[in-house]
Amino acid sequence: MIFAHDTEVSLASTVALINTAHEPQDLTTREELEAFVTAWEWTGSRTHDDAEFRQVLRLRDRLQKMWLAPEEELVEEVNALLQDCRALPQLVRHGKWDWHLHATRPEQPLAERMAVEAAMALVDVIRSDETERLSQCAADDCDNVLIDLSRNRSRRYCDAGCTNRMAAQAYRARRTKV
């Protein structure tokens, strides 16, 4: 494991949120937001309205820019998110999750809780000097971002099947180039 368990889960959920913006887009309706929140087991208060949905989409854009930004800019944005949402780290445990950090209160808006969870995970990445693990899929027709949690930082493709797709493409290219 490269980071603490809760950090790795947060990074994975942040990647999943950012990648809903890319094909196949799967955060285009409030119903799809419900599915996302359920899949990633978000607890806490919800309003289930358009305002909440739009806040999540705005956060998604912001996180995507942060993911690929130079380190100085990333740091500024992480600090801004923590400050804007008045983050206050507290150890909690609930359900099947043992002690981990929450830095927001359950009654804060969903997008703020998502923002702070992403920011707290990025704090770990930045202070471990591991920001090169934040990257983008190397397939030329794929815009997905990824978090490289491989020991030797060798991951190039996202989870959306790009590894297999690029391998098949390379294989076909070799066969036709006789």
21 binds Zn ion per the rule CB under 5 A: no
Q: Coil, helix or strand for 147?
A: strand
13 binds Zn ion per the rule CB under 5 A: no
Q: What is the DSSP secondary structure assignment for residue 6, as one 8-state letter?
A: H
Closest distance of CB 165 from Zn ion, Å: 8
End-to-end CA distance of the chain: 43
Q: Coil, helix or strand for 38?
A: helix
121 binds Zn ion per the rule CB under 5 A: no
137 binds Zn ion per the rule CB under 5 A: yes
101 binds Zn ion per the rule CB under 5 A: no
Note the helical H segments in 20-109.
30-39, 50-67, 71-84
162 binds Zn ion per the rule CB under 5 A: yes
User: CB–CB of 162/139 below 8 Å?
Assistant: yes
Closest distance of CB 73 from Zn ion, Å: 24
Residues that bind Zn ion (CB under 5 A): 137, 139, 142, 144, 158, 160, 162
